Amino acid sequence: MTSQLEQLKAFTTVVADTGDFKQLAQFTPQDATTNPSLILKAVQKPDYAPLLADTVAAHRGESLASIVDRVLVRFGLEILKVVPGRVSTEVDARLSFDTQATVARARHIMALYEAAGMGRNRVLIKIASTWEGIQAARVLEQDGIHCNLTLLFAFAQARACGDARVQLISPFVGRIYDWYKKSAGAQWDEAANAGVNDPGVRSVSRIYDYYKQHGVRTEVMGASFRNVGQILALAGCDLLTISPDLLAQLQAADGNSPPVVRHLTPPASAQAPEAQMSEATFRYELNEDAMATEKLAEGIRLFAADAAKLDALIEAQR
C-alpha cells in the first residue's frame, strides 16, 4: 500500500513548510512556504551560510531592508528549482500594521523575483492577517501580485480575506490547539480533542465550509501542525503546508497504518455571498475572540523578533 503522504496527495495539495530547500525533493511537494523563523533557522546551518554571505557581499551598498529581501528571494528561487508550483515569501512582520509600507515591501520582493526571471504566478507574498495587512493584500491582488495571508486564527480574519479576494489563507491549526490546551490546563482531554474534534481542525473546517458554500475563491491552506492526526483530519482541504518532520512521518506510514480518509468536501450547491465585513465589525469580532487576539499578537512578536535576528546576522557581514 502507498504511504499516507501519497494517499493524502490524492485529496489535498501538499506544501512543504521549510526554508531548507535541500530537504524538499524527497517529499515531492507541489509548493513550499517560508517565514522569517524558517529562513533564520536555515541561514545558520553550514550548508546555507555561503548563500547568505554571497548575497550580502553582492549588495553591500543597498539598504538593510533591501538586502534582507534579496536573501529571502534567493531562498525562494532555490526552492522554486525543486517544487513545480509556488513559493510563499513573507513581508517583514514589523510592518503588520502599516498598509502602505506592506504594499511597498511586497512590490519590492516581487520585483526581485521578476528581475531573476520568475513569473508572478509562482510567488505568493505572505502577509499577517491584520486589518491593515488584509487591505494591503486587497491592493496587491488588484495589481496581479497574489498573497498568502498568514497568522490567521479567527473566522473574522478569514471572512475579511475572502472579501479582499486574496489568493490564499493559512489558518494556523497547531497554535489554536496550543491555546486551548493551555487554557484548559488539567481539564484538557487529549483523546476527546483529537482528530476532527481538535479545536484547530474545527476552525479550518469551518472556514473551508464557509468559503465553499458562499463561492469564495480564496484557497484554504491549513498550517502550523503539531501532529499527523491534525493533518489527516483535514484531508480534502485545498492545501496543507507541513514541516519536514511531519512529512517524513507521513511518508514512513505505509500499509500498517490506517488509510487516509477524506474529511473536507465542497457542498453540492453554493449560497449567495454575504455582505462585506466592515473594519469596525472585523475589529470587534477579533476582539471578542481571546484566542485569536492573543495568538495573532504573539505570532507577530515572534516573527518580528526573528526578523530582527536576521537583520543582525546580515549587519554583521555588511
Determine contact, residues 17/223, Cβ cutoff 8 Å: yes
CB 253 within 8 A of CB 226: no
Catalytic-role residue among 81, 126, 182, 212: 126
Catalytic status, residue 126:
yes
The residue length of the chain stands at 318
Cα–Cα dist 129/149, whole Å: 5
Closest alpha carbon to 24 in 34, 37, 11: 34
Positions marked active-site: 126
